[in-house]
Chain A
Amino acid sequence: MDKFHSLKGIAAPLPIVNIDTDMIIPKQFLKTIKRTGLGVSLFYEMRYDNDGNLIKDFVLNTSPFDQSKILVAGDNFGCGSSREHAPWSLKDFGIRCVISTSFADIFYNNCFQNGILPIVVSPENLDKLMTAAKNQIEFNIDLPEQIIKAGNHSINFEIEEFRKERLLQGLDDIGITLGYQDKINAYEEDKKNKKPWLFKDT
């Protein structure tokens, strides 16, 4: 998995609440069997008209935001389905950090599987950062120090330690868990005796 350490750049403001995963990447793009190539379809219905032409005033279609690596969005970002295509499309577009007041659980989890940092801030701080983003002020995201700097603002954020480590080191989660194979096998042996009906095959 790609590492995440720090990130510098302008941030795209998207002041909409409840941005759901259908908005991030609509269903017709879920038919792929690959993880890559979804960036052009990110926010498809907001970005393109019925004929497939770019909608000029949508933020990610305007310079310099079309190069954004950071997104500042309204509350409850990523609600809806479990599709990992949502973080895949953000990443393929180039976005590595999303800032909001809250994230839906599954989306939040999926971000960390893909080297994307979702940051939760207070409503007051989101307002400040939204304004800074609109004014094209450069953001500086420092994961080791857990600080967002943008103009005069310096905002600390929380992140669980294991998630931070995984991003910093780009760890392979499955590889780590396979190190506990013996424990998993022992658990299964124990349950086979105590709850045999759970081991009736599907």
Chain B
Amino acid sequence: MSNQGPKTLFDKIWSEHLVGQREDGTNLLYIDRHLVHEVTSPQAFEGLKLSNRPVHRPEATIAVADHNVPTINRQNIEDPQSKIQVETLAKNTKEHGIQYFDLMDQRQGIVHIIGPEQGITQPGMTIVCGDSHTSTHGAFGALAFGIGTSEVEHVLATQTIVQNPAKNMRISVNGELPFGVNSKDLILYIIGKIGTAGGTGHVIEYAGSSIMGLSMEGRMTICNMSIEAGARAGLISPDQTTFNYIKGRPYAPGTEHWDQAVEYWSSLPSDNDANYDHEIVIDSSEIDPMVTWGTSPEDVVSVKGTVPNPSSAKTENKKKSIERSLEYMGLKPGTKITDIKLDKIFIGSCTNGRIEDLRKVASIVKDKKIASHVQAMIVPGSGLVKKQAEEEGIDIILKDAGFEWREAGCSMCLGMNPDQLKPGERCASTSNRNFEGRQGRGGRTHLMSPELAAASAITGNISDIRDFT
């Protein structure tokens, strides 16, 4: 990558954060913000202790417990291992002087919800976290990606990461989104189109009028699932929508630096004639509300579609993969998606656990009841999302409809806490992964938007929001 000539948003952030090159030819990239949670950090802190190394810049790090935490009865974590993990995070952060939002703190929540909510996430920053959905923060025009625990230790010790530049991919979505189609449908459609390895080695920049027309919440949903397309990071150019979202949040630049920050942020969008290694252009009118039928996020189909037939697969590998998925999912080829009967509904996660998502669900289920055979739970992404929803009366609407209203956390997105599917149970989920066993051993996950999940909760089958009145 040259310093001359037009640059992409990624190129600009990259060159701004280069500390230098090591003798082995690798680059040291400076990390502005490090988010830490209880599951992928204990071994990193242990490593520091064993080597007697301090944390280089504790004030650049923020910690919260989210993966393991119960969504009911917060005072007591019953699982002894989970309890130890959460206590270990509290102990480690205290020892190193790192800010920690504990379980009783209203600011506690999913790490990728609270970063933006607190104004910690800002354009042009580099942000890492030992969690693959760190890509979420790219919605602000920050270069944000997931790292392993050894790298968490490296960032704690040095505030840098060893990295070589990624390739640039741009996915432009143009046009007004059709009725019933939103950001979740868009990203599921993209993953279906390029595949779960389509973005490997790349940073995906999302552009075009459909993307830029989205709210920050919608943009976060898109960037969040970049990793499901194989890309470690997603990016969207910062604009007035971004600045408006950040302004006034607790960790946002104060009035003394606000104008200077906005001036810099405004220089970040990709130059007009910047080069991309890969370009994809999508017309939004071709997109329907999307649902996954299989065990990979690329296994998507329009809600109006049917379960695919393995015999139509182009390669032997794909055929085997479809057969394996269908067996796991307990589905027959040709079944109409809207004929699939559900047992559970999960609304939440770092993909769709924000206030806007909750408002949409409430508007759909207001004055209705969930189907008698389904159990539906809604898990706000943070304590503050929960508080906001309660102030707006959303919790009452949801509870009246039959939803369980829970405390904030990752919950059934990955089922590390007690919220899990039982073998064979089928769930409409607003989360990000439909892997085998993801939500509980033998559990069957259909990924979809909050709108579809809400409509499906009422009918008890996977439902098209466009047919729903």
Contacts and interface: CB of A to CB of B under 8 A. Distances in A.
Interface of A: 15-18, 20, 22-23, 26-28, 30-35, 45, 50, 74-76, 79-84, 87, 102, 104-106, 109-110, 113-114, 160-162, 165-166, 173-178, 180-181, 183-184, 187-188, 191, 195-198, 200-202
A202 B201 contact: no
A177 B150 contact: no
A87 B151 CA distance: 14
Interface stretch (B79-87, B381-389, B457-465): B79-87
Given A82-B130, A82-B132, A195-B264, A33 B150 contact: no
Q: B interface, how many residues as a size bin?
A: 35 or more
Nearest to B30: A187
A202 B24 contact: no
Interface of B: 19-20, 22, 24-26, 28, 30, 32-33, 39-40, 42-43, 46, 51, 53, 56-57, 59-62, 67-68, 79, 81-82, 84-85, 88, 99, 120, 122, 125, 130-132, 134, 145-151, 153-154, 157-160, 162, 164, 196-197, 200-201, 227, 230, 232, 251, 253-254, 257-258, 260-261, 264, 296, 317, 320-321, 324, 414-416, 423, 433, 435-438, 441-442
Nearest to A22: B435
B223 to A, nearest CB: 16
B433 A110 contact: no
Given A113-B151, A176-B22, A105 B201 contact: yes
A177 B53 CA distance: 13
Given A106-B232, A177-B22, A177-B28, A184 B154 contact: no
B197 A84 contact: no
A183 B20 contact: yes
Given A200-B251, A202-B60, A30 B160 contact: no
B59 A202 contact: yes
Contact of B148 (A34, A76, A110, A197): A110
A33 B436 contact: no
A19 B324 CA distance: 12
A162 B317 contact: no
Contact of A82 (B131, B201, B251, B253): B131
Contacts of B154: 173-174, 177
Contact of B437 (A23, A35, A104): A23
Contacts of B260: 195-197
A33 B84 contact: yes
A35 B153 CA distance: 13
A45 B328 CA distance: 12
Most buried by A among B30, B99, B150, B201: B150
Contacts of B435: 20, 22-23, 80
B416 A184 contact: no
B68 A31 contact: yes
A88 B416 CA distance: 19
A23 to B, nearest CB: 6
Contacts of B120: 202
Given A31-B79, A81-B132, A173 B162 contact: yes
A33 B153 contact: no
Given A80-B433, A187-B30, A198 B125 contact: yes
A27 B419 CA distance: 12
Contacts of B416: 27-28, 30-31
Report, nearest first, the 6 A-B pairs whose CB atoms are least far apart: A197-B253, A113-B150, A33-B42, A31-B81, A82-B146, A110-B148
A195 B232 CA distance: 26
Nearest to A175: B51
B61 to A, nearest CB: 7
Given A22-B436, A28-B416, A201 B148 contact: no
A120 to B, nearest CB: 11
Contacts of A162: 24-26
Contacts of B30: 184, 187-188, 191
A161 B154 CA distance: 20
Contact of A30 (B39, B46, B317): B39
A184 B197 contact: no
Contacts of B423: 50
Most buried by B among A15, A22, A102, A105: A105
